[in-house]
């Protein structure tokens, strides 16, 4: 009896040690790759918050070369904070003013992916060869919500990429159309600027041959992916046929996103902000402005503005 | 002990003298035509996109040596209009440095005047409009909040009821993640940042999950507009929040600290936006 209890105690302590070891391994790998927030951070608490937000639905996907397992999600949340990371995955929007964040994210998630953190998260989603091609049958140690999103299948990846390309093309066409932006010189939709003198000879002539929106997308370091929540403002500006105003609006609302991270067809097509639930079957077909408007209506996050009375009461004048 | 005290006093005096010296020896950078400096080709190549968006604008340049290697860096002033006014956002000042086989932007800020002080060690400190001080570190100039005369905003822990109310301005996700848990702290301060006699509310959400090691903790600044409190600044900080002496339309500039240094936010007529970009 005593011997049996000893064995149970030994096994229990071994498990506890293993759990501790895996979390230590995670913390060491994370801190070795990212600006570290200290080992005292509660991974369990962060995981719990991600479950509440539904961030765990991205388990089983891929971001670039990184398989998104529990450890990778934890690393992303520790780097950006849970809510910001969740927003990034859903919208592709990174916080303004933080340069190189997506590369930090990629590095941190890549450094920890594959580490078993099930002692903290309760599950461990394994990357398999099949997972890359299709994650419709995810390999997860526990089934509770390790189900991979539909965005992981190669077919869906293809749809996503063509959807995003069509999306940009549609916006460009919109810019060229009468309903969209007009050029300041009134030369119409043709690429008339290509024949203009290029001044010092070193600037790219092609920039001048582009429509307003094409130029926006061509600008180095202004790597804009139009996420749906931003479209309303863009289309509002388009209706006023004022490219310059649209430029201001776009620079105001569009935060830098890393297009590389969207161009992940070869890796399984995970694209933040583009998921099956959000875009339905529309992504493979051309999107017209009215669809965009309805989409914007559906996806625009609502920010609750607190009632002035309650704030004034609570904080004074 | 007395000797140590004397050393400290002497050190403090030397530091004060150095600061005074730096202020006295601050030199305004004189901008002129890129043609005159023979850097037209470089400037045109670097700012082709800017030119395409700002056909009415003009670019001026100056040669400076920020790192003492006797290789010139290029300071540029991008003018959207005819003039650059101190305290307005009409002009952009940037510094380009050649490294890794290309020209890298190491400073980008709004302003009319760029000045530099002699470097005590390393790179020369830079100042925009005599108000925002920048120090070089990790490959770029970052806002030097203490040298810019920032006043720290005092933050208090919000009560549970206050926290519940303020949580709404951090969005639905913060609500859904139940960030009102015990690990999460909500702090707030009140400052009249636009001089209208009414305090704005500055609030910071902190604790595990709310903050990210790369970006810091979410910050919101609320201003009462009519019947609602409107979010006029949305950003991140990993330590303190400072009000800067500089202002636009009476709205004081605000500095937040991210893990790499200070980030200045300035009023753009509707809300606060980042003044200095990497």
CA distance B6 to chain A (A): 39
Judged by DSSP in three states, A141 sits in coil
The residue among B220, B22, B257 whose CA lies nearest residue B120 is: B22
The residue among B206, B176, B174 whose CA lies nearest residue B188 is: B206
Strand partners for B95 = B75, B107
Judged by DSSP in three states, A258 sits in coil
Give the pairing of strands B27-28 and B217-225.
Answer: unpaired
Vertex A111 angle, CA A105 and A114, to 5°: 115
Q: H-type helices in A177-257, by residue range?
A: 205-208, 212-218, 228-239, 243-253
CA distance B18 to chain A (A): 32
B179/A222 CB distance under 8 A: no
pLDDT at B196: 93
Tally of CB atoms within 10 A around A219: 18
Q: Which tokens belong to A92?
A: 């592709």
The residue among B236, B241, B247 whose CA lies nearest residue B206 is: B236
User: Which residues does chain A have within 8 Å of residue B218's beta carbon, measured at their own beta carbons?
Assistant: 81, 83-84
A82/B177 CB distance under 8 A: yes
Over residues B8-60, the pLDDT tens digits come to 555 555 444 444 444 558 899 999 999 988 899 999 999 998 888 888 889 99
Optimal mutation site among B212, B218, B268, interface A, most CBs of chain A within 10 A = B212
Tally of CB atoms within 10 A around A212: 24
Q: Within the 73-92 window of chain A, which residues sit less than 8 Å (CB to CB) from chain B?
A: 77-87
B215/A78 CB distance under 8 A: no
Strand partners for B141 = B136
The residue among A103, A85, A105 whose CA lies nearest residue A93 is: A85
pLDDT at B178: 60
pLDDT at B116: 92
Q: Can you give the pTM of this predicted structure?
A: 0.60
Closest partner residue to A46 (CB to CB) among B209, B224, B258 is B209
Which ipTM score applies to this complex?
0.70
Question: Which of the residues in chain A have pLDDT under 50?
Answer: 8, 10-17, 130-157, 159, 172-230, 232, 235-306
In contact, B150 and B244? CB cutoff 8 Å: yes
Whether chain A has a CB inside 8 Å of the CB on B273: the answer is yes
Question: Which of the residues in chain B have pLDDT under 70?
Answer: 1-24, 82, 86-90, 175-183, 208, 276-278
Q: Which tokens belong to B95?
A: 């510094």
| Pairwise CA distance, residues A288 & A23, whole Å | 48
| Tally of residues, chain A | 317
């Amino acid at each position: 009896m005593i011997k049996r209890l000893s064995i149970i105690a030994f096994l229990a302590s071994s498990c506890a040690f293993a759990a501790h070891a895996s979390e230590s391994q995670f913390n060491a790998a994370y801190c070795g790759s990212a600006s570290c927030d200290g080992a005292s951070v509660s991974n369990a608490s962060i995981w719990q918050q991600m479950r509440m937000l539904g961030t765990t639905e991205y388990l089983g996907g891929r971001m670039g070369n990184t398989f998104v397992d529990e450890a990778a999600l934890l690393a992303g949340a520790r780097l950006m904070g849970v809510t910001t990371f969740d927003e990034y995955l859903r919208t592709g929007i990174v916080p303004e003013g933080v340069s190189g964040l997506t590369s930090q994210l990629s590095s941190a998630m890549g450094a920890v992916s594959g580490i078993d953190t099930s002692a903290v998260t309760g599950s461990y989603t394994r990357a398999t060869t099949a997972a890359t091609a299709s994650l419709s049958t995810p390999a997860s140690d526990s089934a509770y919500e390790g189900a991979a999103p539909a965005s992981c299948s190669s077919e869906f990846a293809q749809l996503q990429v063509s959807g995003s390309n069509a999306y940009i093309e549609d916006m460009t066409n919109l810019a060229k159309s009468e309903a969209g932006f007009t050029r300041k010189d009134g030369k119409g939709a043709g690429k008339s600027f290509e024949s203009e003198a290029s001044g010092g000879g070193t600037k790219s002539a092609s920039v001048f041959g582009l429509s307003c929106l094409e130029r926006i997308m061509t600008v180095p370091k202004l790597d804009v992916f139009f996420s749906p929540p931003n479209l309303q403002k863009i289309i509002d500006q388009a209706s006023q046929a004022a490219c310059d105003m649209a430029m201001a609006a776009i620079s105001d609302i569009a935060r830098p996103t890393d297009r590389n991270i969207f161009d992940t067809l070869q890796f399984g097509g995970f694209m933040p902000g583009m998921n099956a639930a959000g875009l339905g079957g529309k992504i493979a077909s051309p999107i017209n402005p009215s669809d965009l408007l309805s989409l914007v209506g559906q996806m625009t996050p609502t920010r609750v503005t607190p009632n002035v009375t309650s704030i004034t009461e609570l904080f004074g004048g | 002990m007395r000797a140590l005290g004397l050393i400290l006093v002497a050190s403090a005096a030397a530091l004060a003298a150095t600061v005074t010296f730096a202020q006295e020896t601050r030199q305004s950078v004189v901008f002129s035509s890129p043609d005159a400096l023979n850097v037209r080709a470089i400037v045109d190549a670097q700012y082709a996109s800017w030119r395409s968006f700002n056909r009415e604008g003009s670019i001026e340049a100056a040669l400076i040596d920020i790192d003492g290697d006797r290789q010139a860096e290029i300071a540029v002033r991008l003018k959207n209009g005819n003039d650059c006014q101190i305290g307005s956002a009409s002009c952009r000042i940037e510094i380009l440095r050649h490294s890794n086989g290309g020209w890298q932007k190491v400073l980008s800020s709004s302003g009319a005047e760029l000045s530099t002080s002699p470097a005590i060690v390393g790179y020369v400190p830079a100042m925009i409009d005599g108000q925002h001080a920048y120090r070089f570190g990790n490959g770029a100039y970052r806002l030097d909040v203490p040298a810019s005369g920032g006043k720290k905003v005092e933050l208090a822990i919000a009560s549970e009821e206050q926290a519940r109310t303020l949580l709404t301005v951090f969005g639905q996700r913060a609500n859904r993640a139940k960030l009102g848990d015990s690990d999460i702290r909500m702090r707030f301060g009140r400052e009249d940042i636009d001089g209208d006699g009414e305090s704005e509310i500055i609030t910071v959400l902190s604790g595990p999950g709310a903050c990210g090691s790369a970006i810091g903790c979410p910050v919101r600044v609320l201003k009462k507009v009519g019947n609602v409190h409107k979010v006029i600044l949305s950003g991140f900080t990993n330590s303190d929040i400072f009000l800067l002496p500089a202002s636009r339309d009476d709205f004081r500039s605000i500095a937040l600290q991210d893990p790499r240094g200070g980030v200045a936010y300035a009023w753009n007529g509707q809300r606060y936006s980042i003044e200095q970009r990497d």
